[in-house]
Amino acid sequence: MDSGAIKRQVGRQAAEELVASGMKLGLGTGSTAIEAVRRIGELVREGALRDLKVVPTSFQTEVACRELGISLWSLNDPLIAGRLDLTIDGADEVDPAWRLIKGGGAAMLIEKIVAHASRDYAIIVDSSKIVGRLGEKAPVPVELVPEALLTVSRALEALGGVPALRMAKMKDGPVITDHGNFVLDVRFPAAFDPPAMERELALIPGLLAHGIFTRPVTSLLVGWPDGRIQHKGEPDI
């Protein structure tokens, strides 16, 4: 089974098993999360899901939801009141304690806000995203104010990181996030403690968000090339 088929399968299963009518639901960004969004749209059209209040984490997700007829809300809406029942999202890496690196889609600022507003947090990935430690394969993305590019870069280097400005592929110049900011992809050659690094990054002026996510994951769905989907409720360690 190729990676696209794995992502479709795990996204569809998450939508079918985890989402219920009447939920206040956060929907994530990326190639796996969008498969859950598509299946939710189908279930809404079929009448199997009703009265969802969906908060998207990016323009990509917002556009997809509108095309699928999924009703969109804001965390600031009085009926949401800053609290969600569930968020479904993908990840770039998942370590044995279910800590994450996210931000490959440059949406980590809102993804983190939505994640922390959620009672339950479901992560859906293919098996290539499972790692022994964070940073094993993926860099840590950080979103920063453009004016702080050099000062943030130096602060990251002082923490042992090797930052690189993420460049756009379909336009000249750097990637610009949904909120008008730059993204640095930071490689950490040495292993790091995720909660400690999260605290250090939060202290850097001009750094608005980063891709280390340590809030508890309540469900992890992992798709494998042989067609299996593991649905776990807690880490093995």
Q: How many CB atoms lie within 10 A of CB 124?
A: 31
| Residue 93 known to be catalytic | no
Q: What is the 3-state secondary structure (H, E, C) of 88-111?
A: EECCCEECCCCCEECCCCCCHHHH
Question: Quick one: tokens of 200?
Answer: 């250090």
Q: Out of 62, 93, 111, 143, pick the active-site residue.
A: 111
Tell me how far apart the alpha carbons of residues 183 and 34 are, in angstroms, rounded to a whole number: 22
Tell me how far apart the alpha carbons of residues 41 and 64 are, in angstroms, rounded to a whole number: 9
- Residue 237: is it exposed, middle or buried by C-beta count within 10 angstroms (0-12/13-18/19+)? exposed
- Active site members: 111
